[in-house]
A and B are shown apart, each in its own frame.
Chain A
């Protein structure tokens, strides 16, 4: 598929980009709210995380005296690497702003870049918690990275496309051809996306510090994964990290939503519908995640590999199936 950028694509791309960014805290807040309601609490405001962010920006930064330049740049780089992933990601429109170079492996490695800087930040202040967090973060990443890359490469092999925009458009087109026009396309499979979805769901849970793996709400040193990394952050740095984590969640949710039900606007007129579909899908996924978080207890750290190996196997099966597809 060729990329002929015109002004319309650019504008819609920018709109899409900002829409996702703006929606991100909402999804996180929504999950939070759902969980709290399920526990019988009143719960926070759904838009609480916007308020938090705004407030954090206004606060002063407390830097450790052992902190180096890493502490200054890491929050920005972490945040920006998520933003760049979002630049590549299509959500409700077929093209994204950086769609031309939205290679799946690049996305996986950009996530690793964010992890890299976040862990460096964690180790910067010489706090015991930081090292712990960094160690655990890499522990998870090392285990989930193969699954993530497998999922992405399975998608690439399944669709014979390497760019994420192309991949989902291809699936969407194939599905549309198959179900609407009745054209028998061998590119359509239900099993493969489903397997990939489950696999990605597990990876997403572990990468986003969700409950069976991590509890984002506690600050207990035994259970901390993500939080330990940013324990020393404050002010706008903390804000950037927090917002970054919402963005990361959104990235995963978006990819999941597209695997499950790819519907992206092909032209400008479909955008309202596709936007609504997108938000609906995201809400459903949020409910799903919240449900998982509610029903499952937190795992012991060394049981996490078992969970992730399931994800790895699923994606491996999906990859093998998708080779057979040709």
Chain B
């Protein structure tokens, strides 16, 4: 994957504004703060992933199309970020979709075909909606260039385009493709898709809401907030129920997209209602969360790819005890998990904290609707925050800790150093941003200024002002981190001095039963079942226990437990819709495509007569 090098080149290669003249389409590119942010974001994360892929990709050396596709994939995302007219945008948007689709079906097989089809279908629907939005914009401004779109988009345009983008982002009612498509792709591609590609949808939304929008529809912000909160909660709830590591991570992507959407919603609402500082903070939360999620999710996907590579399974019920075999990977993974489940000194908490602050701020505004919606959002966000902790504890605990459950896990070895470096860089950046975010916030200020016209204070020790001049609160991550480290050191040395250091290695106590049996460990399904039971209305799960029939009632040699977790949206919206479509088209097909020539001729004459009747009786 030489994508990275090209991307770096491209950053320096382009001037501020660039128009490539062709006879029909003018490809115009423009660097503004937002696109620069996204270009840097995309290119840096894809650099990490390409470092990772140097070794990881050896698996795919036989079919090098992977690297060609992923190069074009990354390139089209970068060009998408800098494109400055509608046709360019759409072309590269769709190129991005096409190449990611090719990558999704890359490994072949029935599963990836289904996932790929669903993905491409959904993304095509999204593209069509975006196209509709752009067409309406074009009709309004009669220009293809983004320069003329400022403040032109009305509510209809925004609704169409944002729905389209939300499909790509995997926001809740439109998320069905995501948990299928992300896991089946090769891990480095999942990392790109989850870490970067979904954020391109956010790019589009930011562009539409904050640049093109005519800004008079605060309820749109509330809708985004609610949708975001819903997907944050449901995303992580479904994540908790998964067995497949990559599927869990994919659902977690939905959760994080939901969090980003919440931020966008608040920010847009505040913009429409003219609450400046809330707008800025929510935007900061959005941008920070994009970075944080990109970093941690890409590192986690890379890690899961390594697990897959070295154990040949992604099912966490078959893993366990990997931490002993892959010590360094497990440390990196742990930090990634801490970051994504918003544990305090790391970066995930930072963006979530800013989101909380802006939510509290919007409660302060006393706006009739927003107050209640933000209270709900706070509730859902906090619930999803805790659930994220649970889900990722499950992921890490079941996969890396305990005893190996199967042979797959026993034979794992420490991954290659280059692969580990590829993961280590984003993980290191997670820590860096978590502990010392001020540099990045002051850089993000340019983007915030571009989008909202204001900036936030990036001074480490000045408190956040939400709506009044009074300082509201402060989270000084550096201070917290220093305190943590200092207290840790004190405790450590205190115990070093005043306690015994004797250690004995022994079997785990298992009530005197067979200690070697790794099946006695808690399973992943068991881990989440109690939470799932409480929130059972979110899942439409089907579980059954099959016993062997011939054996006596109380001494069964074997029992099989199967559980199937269905997505409620999938079950109650998508599958019925599909059935309806098939039914309607069956009727249509029978009626319209009769093999009988008499019927066909009948249609011919009927339509002639109908036209005649229209001609005679209506037109005159």
Contact = CB atoms under 8 A, between A and B. Distances in A.
A and B touch in the complex (CB under 8 A): yes
A145 B386 contact: yes
A280 to B, nearest CB: 28
B508 A125 contact: yes
Contacts of B330: 68-69
Contacts of B502: 60-61, 235
A84 interface: yes
Interface stretch (B78-86, B211-219, B264-272, B464-472): B464-472
Contacts of A178: none
Given A68-B330, A80-B488, A101-B476, A236 B499 contact: yes
B183 interface: no
B375 interface: yes
A128 B521 contact: yes
Contacts of B331: 69
Contacts of A119: 393, 397
Interface stretch (B316-324, B421-429, B569-577): B316-324
Nearest to A163: B473
B343 interface: yes
A52 to B, nearest CB: 13
A149 B397 contact: no
A105 B510 contact: no
A42 interface: no
Contact of B500 (A57, A125, A143): A57
Contact of A98 (B390, B468, B479): B479
Interface in B471-489: 471-476, 479-480, 483-484, 487-488
Interface in A91-120: 98, 100-101, 103-106, 108-110, 112-113, 115-116, 119-120
Contact of B382 (A58, A145, A162, A320): A145
Interface string A252-269: 000000000000000000
B609 interface: no
A142 B385 CA distance: 8
Interface in A118-134: 119-120, 122-128, 130-132, 134
A49 B461 CA distance: 39
A232 B508 contact: yes
Contact of A323 (B366, B474, B480, B498): B366
Interface stretch (B156-164, B246-254, B399-407, B611-619): B399-407
A120 B396 contact: yes
B357 interface: yes
B559 to A, nearest CB: 18
B473 A112 contact: no
A146 B382 contact: yes
B472 A160 contact: yes
B498 A57 contact: yes
Contacts of A132: 522, 526
Interface string B519-547: 01111001111110110000000000000
Chain B contact surface mostly: helix
Nearest to A105: B356
B363 A323 contact: yes
B351 interface: no
Interface in A140-181: 141-143, 145-146, 148-150, 153, 156-157, 160-163
Contact of A65 (B379, B475, B506, B531): B506
B386 A123 contact: no
B389 A116 contact: yes
Interface in B41-88: none
Interface residues of A, number: 84
Contact of A116 (B387, B393, B473): B393
A134 B393 CA distance: 9
Interface residues of B, number: 87
B506 A103 contact: no
B549 interface: no
A225 to B, nearest CB: 11
A70 B400 CA distance: 10
Contacts of A138: 386, 389-390, 393-394, 527, 531
A100 B463 CA distance: 9
Contacts, number: 267
B588 interface: no
Contact of B371 (A66, A112, A162, A323): A323
Given A77-B488, A142-B387, A84 B480 contact: yes
Interface string A269-309: 00000000000000000000000000000000110010000
Given A84-B484, A123-B522, A60 B504 contact: yes
A51 B338 CA distance: 35
A89 B125 CA distance: 52
A157 B364 contact: yes
B474 A103 contact: yes
Contacts of A104: 473
Contacts of A126: 320-321, 401-403, 508, 518, 521
A138 B393 CA distance: 9
A116 B397 contact: no
- Among the interface residues B360, B473, B491, which one has the most CB atoms of the partner chain A within 10 A? B473
Interface in A207-266: 231-232, 235-236, 239-240
A61 B531 CA distance: 33
Contacts of B499: 57-58, 235-236, 239
Given A116-B341, A161-B473, A232-B509, A123 B393 contact: yes
A112 B330 CA distance: 21
B152 interface: no
A138 to B, nearest CB: 4
A323 to B, nearest CB: 6
A96 to B, nearest CB: 11
A163 B474 contact: yes
Interface string A1-25: 1100000000000000000000000
A123 B401 contact: yes
B488 to A, nearest CB: 5
Contacts of A106: 344, 349, 353, 475, 480
Contacts of B394: 138
B534 A135 contact: no
A116 B378 contact: no
A128 B522 contact: yes
A183 B471 CA distance: 24
Contact of A146 (B379, B476, B487): B379
Given A61-B502, A119-B397, A105 B522 contact: no
A109 B500 contact: no
A283 B60 CA distance: 67
Contact of A231 (B393, B509, B527, B531): B509
Contacts of A314: none
Contacts of A148: 382
B503 A60 contact: yes
B343 A116 contact: yes
Nearest to A66: B403
B409 to A, nearest CB: 11
A139 interface: yes
B491 A83 contact: yes
A100 B600 CA distance: 82
20 contacts: A62-B503, A69-B327, A69-B331, A70-B323, A101-B475, A109-B342, A109-B343, A112-B385, A120-B401, A126-B402, A131-B526, A134-B522, A142-B387, A150-B379, A156-B360, A160-B468, A232-B508, A302-B530, A302-B533, A323-B371
Chain A to chain B: the 5 pairs with minimum beta-carbon distance, closest first: A131-B522, A162-B473, A126-B402, A123-B397, A145-B386
Given A106-B349, A126-B320, A135-B526, 16 more contacts: A1-B471, A62-B503, A64-B507, A65-B505, A79-B491, A100-B474, A101-B480, A103-B353, A112-B386, A120-B401, A123-B397, A131-B397, A141-B389, A156-B472, A162-B463, A326-B364
Interface of B: 320-321, 323-324, 327, 330-331, 334, 338, 341-344, 349, 352-353, 356-357, 360, 363-364, 366, 371, 375, 378-379, 382-383, 385-387, 389-390, 393-394, 396-398, 400-403, 461, 463-464, 468, 470-476, 479-480, 483-484, 487-488, 491-492, 495, 498-500, 502-510, 518, 520-523, 526-531, 533-534
